[in-house]
Amino acid sequence: MSVLEIVQWPDARLARLCAPVSDIEALKADIRDLFETMYAAPGRGLAGPQIGLMSRVFVMDAGWKDGTKTPLACINPEITERSDEKITGPEGCLSMPGVTADVVRHARITLAFSDLIGARQSMEMTGAEAIIAQHELDHLDGVMHFDRLETQARAALLKDYEALA
């Protein structure tokens, strides 16, 4: 396993749509690297394009910073249900360190994905899990968290980020 360099905005790979995974076995080493890189960062989620892997895969662990590891690898994920209820909260991104933004997300989702053995799973998520999954799934679609902001908030966040660079 390896801790890899995290791709930083404005790298063009972060704005690209990722390809579906057809060979899970060939991806297992990359998934181990995703987990190791995420924990070392330290983050709660990391998507393929954030390490230059342009495949529809992300890893997450909503509980490890609170003392309960709950690692989850999601291959070819999709949201199959979304609540009408929305929540707004601060989100950071390992590909854009040093800045956070208040992002509106669905309070509850159902995420369908393939696991490491290729079995299709479905999981209802709320709270931090739902937010992390939505954030990471956005990365697979070439969407950054600031893309979900209104024009002025987006401009302010990008200005703050540029000032850090």
Instruction: Write out pLDDT tens, residues 18-76.
Output: 999 999 999 999 999 999 999 999 999 999 999 999 999 999 999 999 999 999 999 99
Q: Model pTM? A: 0.96
Does position 1 have pLDDT exceeding 90, yes or no?
no
Does position 110 have pLDDT exceeding 80, yes or no?
yes
- Number of domains the chain contains: 1
Residue 97 lies in a domain: yes
| Partners of 60 in beta bridges | 45, 72
Residue 35 lies in a domain: yes
Does position 159 have pLDDT exceeding 90, yes or no?
yes
Q: 102, 89 in Cβ contact below 8 A?
A: yes
Check which CATH number belongs to the domain holding 82 and give it: 3.90.45.10
Residue 70 lies in a domain: yes
Residue 107 lies in a domain: yes
Q: 121, 114 in Cβ contact below 8 A?
A: yes
Residue 149 lies in a domain: yes
Range of the domain at 120: 12-164
The pLDDT > 90 percentage for the chain reads 98
Active-site annotation, residues: 136
